Amino acid sequence: MTTIARVGFVRHLRAEPNEFILHYRGGKLTRRGVSLAYWFMPLRTAIAMLPVQDVETTFVLSERTLDYQDLAVQCTLVYRVVEPEVAATRVNFALSLQSGAWIDQPLERLASFWSQRARRPARTYLASVPLVDAVGRGAEVIRAAIEEVLRSDPAIQEMGLALVSVNVQRVSPAAEVDKALQVPIRESIQQRADQAIFARRADAVENERAIKQNELATEIELARQQEDLIRREGANRLLETEHQAAADRVRTEAELARAALIADAYARDQRTHAEADAQTRRLLGEADADGEARRVAVWQAAPTRVLLGLAAQEFAGKIGSINHLNLSPDLLASTMQLFLQEQADHQAAALP
């Protein structure tokens, strides 16, 4: 903001770096430039201050579409004062020599000027399209149309101004129309959301089905492997049993052979012993028979008295084991007769 200080009847002006000063004295331009600072007498002086930086202005255009729907177009426009002396002749930028502020509101007038110049291309476009097209893609089209028209507008050059940029923030219908327009979009979004949910559920079901199939395939594979394992174990047990049976058979055969050998050896041994015993008994029997025969022969040749003596001797040796003995008279008579006969025979033989 330009600062004007009062010292008695004299004034001192100090401008900022972005302020262009036009100093008039007696109706003639005597000073001009950016960021001036000087003393002056206020009686015959008029001062104008114009901004040399980019100035931004925002305005709203109310227009109607092809289908008679009201729209509000919010625009932001940036411009610059390129010819301060020309602009000062078209718009009042005069300063109050007391406060240093603008006497009028020049920037508001310029904002109105820019909105009026921008209204025509915006209105031309909106009047040719329906509401849906205007809302859907109208912002960029309106911005391009406004920029094209304003850059070639001679009235702007005559004002000593230049366009820097144009931006259309939004093109919005009335509130109830806006809600009505949002309904199909909202429904479409909801439908897409529902489709996404359904698709996600379908994917989840498909994934679950795939998981169950994988689990089933895994169980089938495990069952098959278990079946193979059981079959292999059975074959191994059968083979082990066969080997064990063969080993048992070989062991049994060996034991049977050993038992047969033992039995055969025992039989041969028993037969040998039996033969030896039989031979021994035969020899003993023969010896006993021979001895008995000899004894009988001896007894036959022995005289009666000898036999009686031997019998008495044998009787004396056995008498301790005899419990009861019967001697008949006939036995004693025959024995004594034989003894006496033998004595007579012996005495007769002894006579010459």
The proportion of the chain whose per-residue pLDDT surpasses 90, expressed as a percent, equals 26
Residues 6+ apart with CB under 8 A from 17: 34, 35
Quote the pLDDT of residue 344. 65
Q: What's the pLDDT tens digit per position in 145-162?
A: 999 999 988 999 999 999
Give the mean model confidence (pLDDT) for residues 134-146.
86
Region of poorest pLDDT, from 21-25, 78-82, 297-301: 297-301
Does 347 map to a domain? no
Does 285 map to a domain? yes
Residue that terminates a domain, selected from 173, 195, 227: 173
Phi, psi for 104 (deg, rounded to 5): -100, -170
Are 295 and 160 within one domain?
A: no
The rounded distance, in Å, linking the Cα atoms of 238 and 185 is: 77
Are 46 and 160 within one domain?
A: yes
Q: For the chain, what is the domain count?
A: 2
Quote the pLDDT of residue 188. 82
97/314: higher pLDDT = 97
The parent domain of residue 102 ranges over 3-173
150 in Cβ contact with 167 (< 8 Å): no
The secondary structure of 196-258 as a DSSP string is HHHHHHHHHHHHHHHHHHHHHHHHHHHHHHHHHHHHHHHHHHHHHHHHHHHHHHHHHHHHHHH
Burial of 183 (0-12, 13-18, 19+ CB in 10 A): exposed
pLDDT band at 252 (very low <50, low <70, confident <90, very high): confident
In this predicted structure, the answer to whether residue 336 has a pLDDT above a threshold of 70 is no
Residue that terminates a domain, selected from 173, 200, 221: 173
222/305: higher pLDDT = 222
Residues 6+ apart with CB under 8 A from 95: 2, 4, 47, 48, 49, 101, 102, 103
Residue that terminates a domain, selected from 173, 201, 229: 173
Q: What's the pLDDT tens digit per position in 204-241?
A: 888 888 898 899 899 899 988 988 888 888 888 888 88
pLDDT band at 130 (very low <50, low <70, confident <90, very high): confident
